[in-house]
C-alpha cells in the first residue's frame, strides 16, 4: 500500500487499486495515479518513472536576495545576510544578491505593497541570470511562466522567497518568486517510495 496526507488526514491506497487504473483516472481514495498515467510519468521532470517528481512545491525558502530598503524587517529577519553589525549591505557579494529598489516608491510614505513591488520590478528589468526577468513579465500577479505567481520584494517584505508547499498552487510553481519580511514559514513535502514486499 502507499500512504500519504490529503487535507490533513491519512490516506491509505492499496497497490491493487492503483494497478487497475486506466484512462487517466485517479484512485477513489487519495486521488493517486498509476505511474504510467497523467499524474505519473508526465509529472516527472524527464517524462519517465525515473525522473524527478514534484518540482513544484516542497518548502518555502527564504533566499540570500533582498532590496536594501532599510525596512526594520530586513534587519529583524535578515540580519545575518543583509547586515555587517548594524551596517546594511547595499551591494551584492559572492553570497548575496542586493536588488536596486525605487526609493521614490518603496519608502516610509508608501503603504501599498503591490505598488512598491511593481516599482522595484521595473527598476530591475535589465538584470538577467536570476530567473526573474527571464521567466516573468511583471512584478505582481500570475505573470511568470506556466501562470505561476510573481511577487517582487518591497516595503515590509524585502526578502525573496522561492518554492512553496505542495498545496500552494501558483504560489509553488518552479517559476514562482515571492517576498517575505517575517519569520520563516516552512511547510514541506517529501515523496517516499515504499518497496513491495
pLDDT tens digits, 49-94: 566 655 666 667 778 899 999 999 999 988 988 999 999 999 998 8
CB atoms within 10 A of CB 118: 21
Angle, CA of 98, 103 and 104, to the nearest 5° = 155
Side-chain-facing half-sphere of 183: CA atoms under 13 Å: 3
Grid cell digits, residue 154: 518591497
Contact at 8 Å (CB) between 27 and 17? yes
**Above 60 in pLDDT, residue 12?**
no
* 3-state SS assignment for residue 190: coil
Q: What pLDDT is attached to residue 104?
A: 95
Compare 22 and 125 and report the one with higher pLDDT: 125
**Above 90 in pLDDT, residue 32?**
no
Contact at 8 Å (CB) between 60 and 165? yes
CB atoms within 10 A of CB 153: 31
Please tell me the distance from the alpha carbon of residue 97 to that of residue 193, in angstroms, as a whole number: 37
Q: What pLDDT is attached to residue 129?
A: 83
pLDDT tens digits, 141-196: 888 887 888 899 999 999 988 877 666 666 777 778 888 877 655 544 444 455 56
Please tell me the distance from the alpha carbon of residue 71 to that of residue 107, in angstroms, as a whole number: 8
Amino acid at each position: 500500500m502507499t500512504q500519504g496526507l490529503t487535507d490533513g488526514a491519512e490516506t491509505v491506497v492499496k497497490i491493487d487499486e492503483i494497478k487497475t487504473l486506466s484512462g487517466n483516472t485517479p484512485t477513489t481514495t487519495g486521488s493517486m495515479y498509476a505511474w504510467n498515467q497523467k499524474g505519473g510519468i508526465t509529472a516527472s521532470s524527464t517524462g519517465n518513472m525515473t525522473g524527478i517528481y514534484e518540482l513544484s512545491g516542497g518548502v518555502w525558502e527564504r533566499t540570500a536576495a533582498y532590496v536594501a530598503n532599510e525596512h526594520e524587517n530586513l534587519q529583524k529577519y535578515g540580519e545575518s545576510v543583509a547586515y555587517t553589525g548594524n551596517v546594511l549591505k547595499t551591494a551584492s557579494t559572492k553570497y548575496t544578491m542586493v536588488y536596486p529598489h525605487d526609493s521614490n516608491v518603496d519608502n516610509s510614505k508608501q503603504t501599498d505593497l503591490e505598488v512598491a513591488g511593481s516599482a522595484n520590478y521595473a527598476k530591475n528589468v535589465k538584470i538577467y541570470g536570476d530567473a526573474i526577468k527571464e521567466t516573468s513579465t511583471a512584478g505582481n500577479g500570475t505573470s511568470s511562466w506556466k501562470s505561476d505567481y510573481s511577487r517582487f520584494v518591497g516595503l515590509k517584505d524585502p526578502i525573496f522567497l522561492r518554492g512553496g508547499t505542495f498545496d500552494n498552487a501558483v504560489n509553488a510553481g518552479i517559476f514562482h518568486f515571492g517576498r517575505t519580511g517575517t519569520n520563516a514559514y516552512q511547510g514541506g513535502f517529501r515523496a517516499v517510495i515504499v518497496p513491495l514486499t
